[in-house]
């Protein structure tokens, strides 16, 4: 029986990101993935948010994604786009990039790290005990792990077998997605009718002056709202034709399906993200409509929150209680994502009352303060973990400042690329001493002379020091004295031997 410290069920974006985080921390990690390779059939998520780009920057791989995607102000809420070009971040934009490319790039990065991948196999069962988890695979083999993380999608077998409830709201809308040939050229772009939304596009496109320009020929990507939301079976070409005729008056002679799938606005969230040695992340923990594009991004950020905590417990640095902070921090984030997504679905309805409500919302979002607040939330830049009272930085993402250090000019995110915690001393060099934590936490003396600004909040006072977790969030802020630093070190990075 093969043994690993951590086994991840599912090799999508969340599972790959988590594996990368654990491998960077020196943890023996394996992925069980049912697909024989990383190929995806169908068009799923189509972009990375500003905060996810920052996270990838923190690991030194963001340029790989920027090289293949298209920068655009793709952050939006319901029927309006929200400009974040004035936000204080190096990535004040979204990146249009289809999920199949996101996964391919992540898989290449993970392939450069010591990660074992069991491809073409599925998890079929598991049993946890006091020392670990025994995992059964579809080929009859078994694995042993200290911890199991279910990154196996909305129908997660890990979640079901762990007995974790998945409460939420049933679907009110249903949509068919497909790629096929059409005898007639459809009107490319997004359209709204009394029945709901429908859209036509192509795999190849460019973004010019903020607008999508599709290739002039090739198979057509279709998204169309169905009349009824109750069907959960795989859709057929006949279902697609029927939905197109209802929405457009014609099916445009659609034929030769390449793939077809169905999605709804069902919204559910796992009641617990942890049950003993079992964890959930990504779609296994939360599902909702793709409107707003927060699903994949939330999953990747789940992985970055869990990875360093799991690594520290596996390595004996921190107690098991640290793992409870994963649910405490990430469950509220996804709960808010579900609420904002349901609100956007509601605003896309086409009755007169919704039209009136949508007009009011558009007026509000045209104002500076509401625009900044909602745009910061939709881009992931407003995430705030409750780490206590104090400086506005506490519990928020650390800005990627350009620092003057003894090693020259360095960015904060460059200092986080090894996925280790960082104590940034901005006071007199040598004024902070981390003593027994020196093997766990990087101490960098630096100076910074620019403004301190946070998205939506604006300017904040300059701290004298900041303790930054491996996920880029600030765990302690110095404001002239090192009060509380020892306690924060103990809480997040374990008591010294």
Angle at 66 between CA 41 and CA 111, to 5 degrees: 60
Q: Where are the domains of the chain?
A: 2-168+268-378, 174-264, 402-493
Task: Output the six-digit token pair for 49.
Answer: 């948010």
Q: What is the pLDDT along the chain (497 residues), one digit of tens a residue?
A: 899 999 999 999 999 999 999 999 999 999 999 998 877 766 566 799 999 999 999 999 999 999 999 998 767 888 788 999 999 999 999 999 989 999 999 999 999 999 999 999 999 999 999 999 999 999 999 999 999 999 999 999 999 999 999 999 999 989 999 999 999 999 988 888 777 788 898 877 777 776 777 777 889 999 998 887 767 778 999 999 999 999 999 999 999 999 998 989 999 999 999 999 999 999 999 999 998 889 999 999 999 999 999 999 999 999 999 999 999 999 999 999 999 999 999 998 888 999 999 999 999 999 999 999 999 999 999 999 999 999 999 999 999 999 999 989 999 999 999 999 999 999 999 899 888 998 999 999 999 999 999 999 999 999 999 999 999 999 999 987 778 999 999 999 998 87
Q: What is the DSSP string of 166-233?
A: --EE--S-EEEEEEEEESS----EEEEETTEEEEEE-S-EEEETTEEEE-SSS-EEEEEE-S-S---S
**Cβ-based neighbours of 420, under 8 Å, separated by 6 or more:** 440, 441, 442, 470
Q: Name the residue with tokens 């068009």.
A: 43
Cα–Cα distance for residue pair 206/202, rounded to 1 Å: 10
- Give the 3-state secondary structure of residue 152: coil
Task: Find out whether 59 and 347 touch, Cβ atoms under 8 Å.
Answer: no
Cα atoms in the 13 Å half-sphere on the side-chain side of 231: 16
**CATH no., domain 2-168+268-378:** 3.50.50.60
Residue 161 parent element (H or E): helix 157-162
Q: Which 8-state DSSP code applies to residue 447?
A: B
| Predicted pLDDT at 42 | 64
Instruction: Tell me what pLDDT residue 44 has.
Output: 62
pLDDT score recorded for residue 459: 96
**SS3 annotation, 286-310:** EECCCCCCCHHHHHHHHHHHHHHHH
3.40.50.720, 3.30.450.20, 3.30.70.2860, 3.40.30.120: CATH of 402-493? 3.40.30.120
Q: Are 244 and 195 in contact (CB under 8 A)?
A: no
On the question of a common fold for 174-264 and 402-493, the answer reads no
For residue 419, report the phi and psi dihedrals to the nearest 5 degrees: 60, 30
| Listed residue (288, 71, 54, 258) closest to 166, CA to CA | 288
Q: Rg (Cα) of the chain, in Å, rounded?
A: 23
What is the per-residue pLDDT for 348? Answer: 87
DSSP letter for each residue of 118-134: EET--EEEEEE-SS-EE
Tell me if residue 350 falls in helix, strand or coil.
coil
Nearest to 261 by CA among 287, 312, 210, 222: 222
Domain 174-264 has CATH 3.30.70.20: no
Q: Is 253 left (phi over 0), alpha (psi -120 to 50) or beta?
A: left
* Residue 385 C-beta-side C-alpha neighbours within 13 Å: 24
Contact 80, 364 (CB under 8 A): no
- 10 Å CB burial of residue 343 (0-12, 13-18, 19+) is middle
């Amino acid at each position: 029986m093969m043994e690993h410290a951590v086994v991840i069920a599912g090799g999508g974006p969340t599972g790959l990101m988590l594996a990368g985080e654990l491998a960077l921390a020196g943890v023996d990690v394996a992925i069980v993935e049912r697909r024989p390779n990383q190929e995806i059939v169908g068009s799923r998520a189509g972009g990375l948010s500003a905060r996810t780009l920052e996270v990838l920057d923190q690991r030194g791989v963001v340029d790989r994604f920027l090289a293949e995607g298209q920068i655009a102000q793709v952050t939006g809420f319901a029927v309006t786009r929200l400009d974040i070009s004035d936000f204080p971040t190096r990535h004040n934009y979204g990146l249009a990039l289809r999920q199949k490319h996101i996964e391919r790039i992540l898989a290449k990065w993970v392939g450069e790290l010591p990660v074992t991948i069991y491809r073409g196999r599925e998890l079929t069962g598991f049993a946890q005990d006091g020392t670990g988890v025994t995992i059964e695979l579809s080929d009859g083999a078994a694995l042993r792990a200290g911890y199991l993380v279910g990154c196996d999608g909305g129908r997660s077998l890990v979640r079901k077998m762990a007995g974790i409830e998945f409460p939420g709201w049933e679907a009110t809308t249903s949509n068919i997605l497909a790629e096929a040939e059409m005898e007639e050229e459809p009107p490319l772009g997004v359209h709204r009718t009394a029945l709901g939304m429908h859209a036509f596009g192509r795999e190849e496109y460019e973004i010019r002056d903020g607008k999508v320009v599709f290739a002039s020929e090739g198979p057509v990507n279709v998204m169309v709202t169905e009349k009824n939301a109750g069907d959960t079976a795989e859709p057929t070409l006949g279902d697609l034709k029927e939905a197109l005729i209802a929405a457009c008056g014609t099916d445009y002679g659609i034929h030769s399906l390449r793939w077809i799938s169905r999605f709804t606005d069902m919204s559910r969230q796992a009641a617990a993200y942890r049950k003993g040695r079992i964890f959930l992340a990504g779609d296994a923990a939360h599902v909702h409509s793709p409107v707003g594009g927060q699903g994949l991004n939330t999953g990747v950020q789940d992985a970055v929150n869990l990875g360093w905590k799991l690594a520290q417990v596996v390595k004996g640095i921190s107690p098991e209680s640290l793992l409870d902070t994963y649910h405490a921090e990430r469950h509220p984030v996804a709960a808010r994502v579900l609420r904002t997504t349901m609100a956007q679905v509601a605003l896309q309805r086409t009755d007169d009352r919704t039209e009136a409500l949508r007009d009011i919302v558009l007026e509000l979002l045209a104002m500076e303060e509401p625009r900044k607040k909602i745009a910061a939330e939709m881009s992931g830049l407003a995430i705030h973990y409750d780490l206590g009272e104090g400086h506005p930085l506490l519990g928020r993402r650390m800005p990627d400042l350009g620092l003057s250090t003894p090693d020259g000019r360095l960015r904060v995110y460059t200092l986080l690329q090894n996925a280790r915690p960082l104590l940034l001393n901005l006071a007199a060099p040598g004024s902070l001493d981390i003593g027994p934590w020196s093997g766990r936490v990087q101490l960098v003396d630096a100076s910074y002379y620019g403004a301190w600004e946070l998205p939506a909040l604006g300017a904040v006072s300059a701290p004298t020091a900041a303790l930054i977790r491996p996920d880029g969030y600030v765990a302690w802020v110095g404001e002239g004295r090192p009060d509380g630093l020892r306690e924060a070190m103990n809480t997040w990075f374990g008591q010294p031997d």
